[in-house]
Chains A and B, each alone.
Chain A
Amino acid sequence: MINYLVRRLLYAVPILIGVNLLTFWLFFMVNTPDDIARMHLGRQHQKHVSMAAIQQWKIAHGYDLPIFYNPSRNGIGHLTDTLFAEKSLAMFAMDFGAADDGSDIATEIRTRMGPSLMIAVPAFLLGLWTNLSLALMMVWFRTSWQDRLGVAAATMLMSISSLFFIIGGQYLFAREWCWVPVSGFEPGLDGWRFVLLPVLVSVLAGIGRGSRWYRSVFLEEIGKDYVRTARSKGLSEARILFVHVLRNGLIPVLTTTVAVIPLLFMGSLLTESFFGIPGLGAYVVEALQGEDFAVVRSMVFIGSLLYVLGLILTDIAYSVADPRVRLS
């Protein structure tokens, strides 16, 4: 087990290096620091940006280094005093540098993680519970009109853009009925009023796809031999569904769910920016709208780190849930 984990962790390293190289290539070679500087200066209504202004911007934001090799330094400085080392490799040490407005990205990420989790964790748990219950209900009523109605409703729900859920939910619950505030956030337990609606909306937006997927998993389980055996032994249909089928069906559910858990840290772009939650999702949206490449790059790196972590967790969850799977 330990052996396997160490190997998996080592396997994650080349993937992260790949992500690192890919983002570096995109952000520094396709779009050079000169282009970034020109874009930012151009936005301040300077039609023709002078070379001197570009140089100044690059120095102010630490982009005035050579890309891979610095001939003006000595020894190891040849390699460390370069854009690649400063901006890209440093991320492995969780050093993300400063955003365009001068704030430290790592500090920002740490403080914004909390609000993101306040929304994402309840939404995840409630969503999982709702989707599983709905799926079990549809399977219980399988091949009847109730099941067909459920599938039709789920298909309709999944055909509605999440934007409509957010806008509609905000309009109905916050503006029309005034049950909860329109947007905003407050840390701690007092902030439940702000959390309620975003969580509800996220759950609702996920019901369609989620319940349909779980339903198909359970339906596949219910056609298997052990179910027939259980039935022929005289077990009640309820016991078969809620004990045997549920436990076996949870294996594929578990593996897809566990992979998502680390990504909960990233929050949700749309929900957070609509409801004014100061989380990581909103941070990304702000960075995208302000064209802050340093923040986007850092979030790409963190996102892939969490994804790889999710892959490893999936493997562990698989072996815990399914004794047939051995890690080796």
Chain B
Amino acid sequence: MMGWQPVVLWSDAAFWLILGLTGMLIWRTRASARDAWGRLFSMPAGAAATVVLLAFLAVAMLDSMHFHARLPGVPVRYDVTVRSVLDVILQPLVAVPEKTYSAPLASRLFTRIQTTDAHGLPVREFAMLNIVRLHPARPDLPVRAALRSVLTGMMVFLAGWWLFGRTGKQPVSALFAMLAATAVLVSAVVFCVQVVGHLHVLGTDKVGQDVLYEALKSIRTDLLFGLLATLLTLPLGVAFGMTSGYFGGWLDDLIQYVYTVMNSIPDILLIAAVVLLMQGYIETHAARFDTAAARADIRLLLLCLILGVTSWTGLCRVLRAETLKLRELDYVHAARAFGVSHARVLIRHILPNLGHLILITLVMDFSGLVLTEAVLTYLGLGVDASMASWGNMINAAELELARDPVVWWPLAGAFCLMFALVLSANIFADSVQIAFDPLGRRA
């Protein structure tokens, strides 16, 4: 029997903690936020974007369950490499390594390599891919797979329509958008499942690694980066925003001063400065992080921390302005007159009324932070080069586009997934803003 031993990386712990806390918050506020969530799911764009985001989240969750596999043999020993559940699912993608570049769905390599022909003589040719040699398939496999996946997608759509169409909980347009998004996702998965193992869906990169695998593995890195960095702006942003708005006076002046100083340093330079220092720290304390994976992991976490600590000013400004308004309301005065302490007023009466603004600001920051990952990684300040991330893929693609004939698919793979995540995050943010703050001003 295959045994396994669970491993919890620091970033896994952070990720599951975030999910748990978010889930708990949504559950706790379900009564007061029910209308808002209802509005969100009755908007076609918002509902579809939520489906896509949940799919990304599911991939990231599968990729955040790590373990050591048990090695065969009588004394119980475990493999030293850390694998995730997603690695196991994606095993067919990487089971047969190739030599070098191959185009999407190609059966031969993209460049000539030295091989031997039938008579044992050396030739330079576009060698057949290992995967095609080992698992030959009918040449019309992609077409048949595409047809089958489209049919499956349509069936999913119709089944959903038949199941939920009559409940009348959602407007027809929203249900249509939601089911359409689900159907597209399902048919993409169905297509990949049929083709994987016979062909490389998005081709292979320079070292013969499957591009689809690389792009899917990047989801966790970028999603975690965005989520964690966004949430780490919370403590400073909320604490400073509320105290400066509520108490005013010298405290307000002080916080505004700190805020202006932080803001006056150009974002990217401030982040860059702190990242440079972090690099120095990791280099001089290399012994503390034993494996390369642990170093890459801790680097990702510190990076998120840095972004959180340097970009709380936006949230702080929004909350300060709203707290200024709230503290003059009658119920706050009444609470004070009854002798409720400042701390309790802040937590019981002010904070819950800031909830929607916090949510909106966080959701709006998220997509920007995913984009920041790519830029920082390009500048050499982002995630570790050994970690799968879209930034690293784009970095490598810069040289590939200069080749002749051009190697476009790694860039296309990174582009498609990144675009899907950021676009759905942006649409989700717009919808959340409309749903949770119907009278507010939109950007």
Contact = CB atoms under 8 A, between A and B. Distances in A.
Given A27-B273, A307-B266, A161 B394 contact: yes
B378 A270 contact: yes
Contacts of B281: 31
Interface residues of B, number: 48
Contacts of A277: none
A105 interface: no
A138 B378 CA distance: 34
B61 interface: no
B411 interface: yes
B388 to A, nearest CB: 17
B18 interface: no
A15 B261 CA distance: 6
Contacts of B419: 156, 159-160
A-side interface size class:
35 or more
Given A159-B419, A270-B375, A293 B276 contact: yes
Interface stretch (B111-119, B123-131, B421-429): B421-429
Contact of A289 (B367, B380, B406, B422): B380
Interface string A158-172: 111111100100110
Contacts of B261: 15, 18-19, 22, 304
Contacts of B367: 159
A203 interface: no
Interface in A253-301: 263, 266, 269-270, 284-285, 288-289, 291, 293, 296-297, 299-300
B288 interface: no
Contacts of B411: 164, 167
B257 A304 contact: no
Contact of B284 (A35, A160, A212): A35
Interface of A is mostly: helix
Nearest to B391: A163
A176 to B, nearest CB: 8
B91 interface: no
Contacts of A288: 272, 276, 379-381
Interface of A: 14-15, 18-19, 22-23, 26-27, 30-31, 35-36, 38-39, 42, 155-156, 158-164, 167, 170-171, 175, 212-213, 216, 220, 263, 266, 269-270, 284-285, 288-289, 291, 293, 296-297, 299-300, 303-304, 307-308, 311
Which A-B residue pairs are the 8 nearest by beta carbons? A18-B261, A159-B423, A304-B264, A303-B266, A159-B422, A307-B264, A31-B277, A161-B374
